[in-house]
Structure 1
């Protein structure tokens, strides 16, 4: 298993390195949190939001980092494999095709991170007030939360991708889901500035734990860590069960070329 994993990671890492310019463009494409950081730091100068301009800057810089580490595109790749019949050949191997996608995403993270960290360093130079030294505990918990958020995001999107066994536009589900993700994940604004009722409802959904939860830990802002990991585990269990059910049903439905 280790040899297979190592080979997959090496192959996909080499593949990703062939598209360095594209990786730079994708890293730059994730600058929305930086734009929003400028908006919120200006708005916070008038007070009334519970966070200082520097705290907003730290939060959105960590959102940028978390987003770079948790971006997922498996639904589009899987949909294309099903529609074009390429999944048939992967099903002949003694390995679940999902591991190809996992290796692809992990390799892309390794290839993208130098560019993302360089951008992060530039932003710290532009916003010196946002520069801070997190505790080792904060770094460790933040990276664990980020890894859990990536796993959750991947599982959610891969579950939606399995709908491609029944329709050629499974990616439409992700486009609808992304609207909720955009507003409830903490990407547009930290949940601490939301009305209490909205915040309490949002914290029961998986969205805040995909961005707000790990970003707040890394930024050193107060967050209920125990609740966060419990909610992540609960939603991950739900999507895993749904994923396996759709996979078994979908294989019976699959009639791609060569299947």
Structure 2
């Protein structure tokens, strides 16, 4: 346990220093995740003339929560891993007595820490532009939000890392992520809260992993009604499915890997 903590601290400190070298790029990446804030303006305006079951303030709170979630759960491991496999860079990491995935985990965690000041600035800016987006969540909702955001990031990372393992067999594993991102975009609640979806579509979506990476934690934060038990079980169920699939692909892929130095 002590050795694991030392390794984790070393990895995070190294990758954090690396991320600080690209502060301007971090700001641009944070800014690129501002789609929820654009959708906030669209839905706040639409709610003033339509009947969606949510008030203008509800939409403002929801999309502010979505913006924060997107900043905390963005994942890019598939592009890094694909590059490592295609260019043979994975070979030297396989010589280390640690699973290469922990390099990517540390990179993502360090990037979150380095990005945090930009998130605070952007949230402050848009709260200034949209005063109706300001609200104070209850302590219980905030704690549940923190737990589910961590779970959402873990599930999102695990899903994308599983798709990344197809890089052992194809040069365009990232195309798989691009396809599933379309489903993620529409079914996760990033474009609109699931409460405004038709009942049949919402019921189907709730059995997929996508709503639990955005809509579920956002609803918890702002106090919209959700089935907490079902949500946690579905997240754990999909996490288990992707974990087993991931480990199977990893073992098969290593046998197939023929990068430089492998």
- 1:151: which partner in 2? 154
- 2:218: which partner in 1? 215
Say yes or no: does 1:167 pair with 2:170. yes
**Residues 134-213 of structure 1: pairs in structure 2 closer than 5 A:** 134-213=137-216
- 2:252: which partner in 1? 249
| CA deviation string 1:62-109 (max 9, x = no partner) | 000000000000000000000000100000000000000000000000
- 1:6: which partner in 2? 9
When the two structures are superposed, what TM-score results if normalisation uses the length of structure 1? 0.99
Say yes or no: does 1:73 pair with 2:76. yes
Say yes or no: does 1:125 pair with 2:140. no
- 1:41: which partner in 2? 44
The offset of 1:58, in angstroms, is 0.4
Give the Cα–Cα distance (whole angstroms) in 2 for the partners of residues 113 and 151 of structure 1: 18
Q: CA RMSD in A?
A: 0.6
| CA deviation string 1:12-49 (max 9, x = no partner) | 00000000000000011011001111000000012310
Greater displacement, 219-228 / 149-158? 219-228
Give the Cα–Cα distance (whole angstroms) in 2 for the partners of residues 170 and 123 of structure 1: 36
When the two structures are superposed, what TM-score results if normalisation uses the length of structure 2? 0.98
**Residues 55-66 of structure 1: pairs in structure 2 closer than 5 A:** 55-66=58-69
Greater displacement, 77-86 / 42-51? 42-51
Give the Cα–Cα distance (whole angstroms) in 2 for the partners of residues 129 and 85 of structure 1: 51
Give the Cα–Cα distance (whole angstroms) in 1 for the partners of residues 17 and 100 of structure 2: 19
One of 90, 95, 105 as aligned partner of 1:92: 95
**Residues 22-37 of structure 1: pairs in structure 2 closer than 5 A:** 22-37=25-40
Give the Cα–Cα distance (whole angstroms) in 1 for the partners of residues 56 and 260 of structure 2: 56
Unaligned runs of 5+ in 2: none
Runs of 4+ in 1 over 4 A off after TM superposition: none
SS at the partner of 2:147? helix
Give the Cα–Cα distance (whole angstroms) in 1 for the partners of residues 179 and 101 of structure 2: 23
- 1:231: which partner in 2? 234
Give the Cα–Cα distance (whole angstroms) in 2 for the partners of residues 256 and 54 of structure 1: 53
SS at the partner of 2:171? coil
